[in-house]
Amino acid sequence: MKIFTSTQIHELDKYTIDHEPVSSINLMERAAKAITHLKQLLGINQEVEGRHIIIVEDIVDTGFTMQKMIDSLKEKNPASINVCSLLVKPGNLRVPLDIKYAVMEIPNDFIVGYGLDYDQQGRNLRDIYTIVED
């Protein structure tokens, strides 16, 4: 996601970057139990009350993780919250999300590359690839 974020900030006049990486634990149960398996790794260090927030994400899959982040940020009373995602899987969304900035919609496939991994593999690939089962 760092690569995607760095390419996007060149379009902004004034910004502050903070990050709150989250991960869904237990890949096999992610779709069914993502909210209960969410682990917050780092907190936001900036004051967000009254500020316009853009959450930059590499991929939005079921939407559970993104919805949890939005709900958490809403408690801090920002002026607005928008989502910018490199990839969105609209056919796999399980919660209604308004993703204002989406680079590309993709089918419900496993993908790797450009910082995305599958079972800790492929993150270092320069392009984005679909995992094809033999």
Q: Assess whether 61 carries a catalytic annotation.
A: yes
CA distance 64 to 77: 21
Tokens matching residue 43: 């907190």
Give the HSE-up count for residue 133: Cα atoms under 13 Å, Cβ half-sphere: 2
How many residues would you count in the chain?
134
Q: Please, what sign has the CA dihedral across residues 73, 79, 80, 86?
A: negative
Catalytic residue among 13, 18, 61, 117: 61
CA distance 12 to 104: 20
Active site residues: 61
